[in-house]
Amino acid sequence: MEHTRALFLDAIRCALRDEAVAWDHVAPDQLAQVLDLAKEHHVLPLIFEAVHSCPAISQTDPQLIAACRRATVQAVMAQTMKTEEFLELYQHLRDHGVKPLVVKGLICRSLYPKPDCRFSGDEDVLCGEEQFLDCHKAMIGFSMEPCSSRLDSYEVPYRKEDSALYIELHKTLFSQDSDVFNDCNRFFEDCFTRAVEIPIQGQQIWTTCPTDHMLYLIVHAFKHFLHSGFGIRQVCDMVLFAMRWGQDIDWRYVHDKCRSIRCDRFATALFRIGEKYLDFDPEKAHYPHFWNEEQADETPLLEDLLDGGIYGSSDRSRVHSSNMTLNAVSDDKKGKKAKRSILRTVFPSAKSIEGRFPYLRRKPYLLPVAWTCRIFGYAKESITDPDSGASEVIRTGSKRIELLRHYDIID
């Protein structure tokens, strides 16, 4: 592994233990590269906390260090305020008779030694179809306004004026329109009856039970992996969650559900990354031996997630190639060959691109017009950014399809 990436992972490991790195001979340019990686993965506050006393700091570009220190302080302060405001919102929802379940964000953040160093862009709240209208009215009562007029979506985003608080209110955890992930909603059909209440910052928060939450963290990462990728932060969340709640997790159930959607080897590789680089302790987490004995080389997955940055958005070719990987999985489920995904990437269905071309909802017969716009868009991008042209998209997508085969996600 490249030395800079090894240093980056070591800094993450130390941050999860609330320790400083023990680097005596790190070159200033390597430290700068570690900080750049931290920005790409949205973990700069975690990394900076771990490296700020490193001897190389004094020899590194002072403007870069000052900028990182300033960004860290600002991010932590912003997260602190968002957390406080979210807790106020959550109490407001409970006072209005709804029992939404908080997933990921706040729950995962509470596991870190310094919670507000783990940045969250949004908070995910699951209310279900039955509670949605009551929850929506309560959100409006807290001055949260929907960012979209489409309240029929499986998730509805909300913002508050003059506030950084951003909420995604879920009716289901996964899109019901997705060929690939709609089936996953059945895993969580009874999650409200299995829900648990946990204390966070002096307040009782309803969330999914440890088994459901562990399964959701894995499948959510899997979803992003099939799109364009995900970053190291999600692996940290899973490692810390397993270490804290492992004794209450039905690991056999989680394994069986992962196997049913062919992400068991993917999950094995994630926990091996945790064990090898992030101090994941299988014994403490009650992680089962039968799962750890499965064959899964973690190295290709680790390289992919380090390349991709947060949610695989490090470059546009990865983002655009998501159509290829998703189509490959969809085709595989239907018994078709993954190679058809290249053609479907260039000429996708109206439904799959109506978000970018809203007129297709009303006038699907204009699909050829949308295809033409997309092709010209690729051509324009290839001029301004050679790494995001159509040929690079296909190259990236083909490489990531081979990664899906490596982890037995498709045949």
**Structural domain of 231:** 223-239+248-308
Q: How many domains does the chain have?
A: 4
Can you tell me the distance from the alpha carbon of 91 to that of 99, in angstroms, rounded to the nearest whole number?
10
Can you tell me the distance from the alpha carbon of 222 to that of 262, in angstroms, rounded to the nearest whole number?
10
CB-side neighbour CA atoms (13 Å) of 370:
22
Do 54 and 80 fall within a single domain? no
Number of Cβ atoms within 10 Å of the Cβ of 386: 11
- The pLDDT tens digits of the residues spanning 60-118 come to 788 888 898 999 999 999 999 999 999 999 999 999 999 999 999 999 999 999 999 99
**β-pairing, 196-200 with 203-207?**
antiparallel
CATH number at residue 101: 3.30.460
Whether residue 71 is contained in a domain is answered as no
Whether residue 214 is contained in a domain is answered as no
Whether residue 370 is contained in a domain is answered as yes
Q: Residue 51 is encoded by which pair of tokens?
A: 């490296």
Do 303 and 319 fall within a single domain? no
Whether residue 216 is contained in a domain is answered as no
**φ/ψ of residue 145, rounded to 5:** -110, 135
Do 83 and 200 fall within a single domain? yes
Whether residue 402 is contained in a domain is answered as yes
Q: Write the DSSP string, 278-304.
A: S---TTTTT--HHHHTS---SHHHHHH
Whether residue 22 is contained in a domain is answered as yes
Q: Of the segments 14-18, 22-26, 309-313, 400-404, which one has the largest average pLDDT value?
A: 14-18
Query: What is the gyration radius of the CA atoms in the chain, in angstroms?
Result: 22
Whether residue 109 is contained in a domain is answered as yes
Do 52 and 118 fall within a single domain? no
Mean pLDDT, the chain, whole residue set: 86
Task: Decide which of 268, 293, 308 is a domain's last residue.
Answer: 308
Do 189 and 228 fall within a single domain? no
The pTM of this model reads 0.86
Q: How far is CA 177 from CA 10, 180, 371, in A?
A: 40, 9, 21
User: Residue 287: which pLDDT band, with cuts at 50, 70 and 90?
Assistant: very high
Do 325 and 281 fall within a single domain? no
Q: Residue 64 is encoded by which pair of tokens?
A: 């870069």
Asked whether the beta carbons of 214 and 245 are under 8 A apart, the reply is: yes
Backbone φ/ψ region at 102: left (φ over 0), alpha (ψ -120 to 50), beta? beta
Number of Cβ atoms within 10 Å of the Cβ of 233: 20
Can you tell me the distance from the alpha carbon of 317 to that of 315, in angstroms, rounded to the nearest whole number?
6
Do 325 and 303 fall within a single domain? no
Answer positive or negative: Cα dihedral of 398, 404, 408, 410: negative
Nearest Cα residue to 237 out of 404, 79, 71, 115? 115
Do 327 and 252 fall within a single domain? no
User: Residue 394: which pLDDT band, with cuts at 50, 70 and 90?
Assistant: confident
Give the chain's length. 411
Do 369 and 302 fall within a single domain? no
How much helix, strand and coil, in percent to the nearest 5, is found in the chain? 60, 10, 30
Residue-level pLDDT at 183: 86
Whether residue 68 is contained in a domain is answered as no
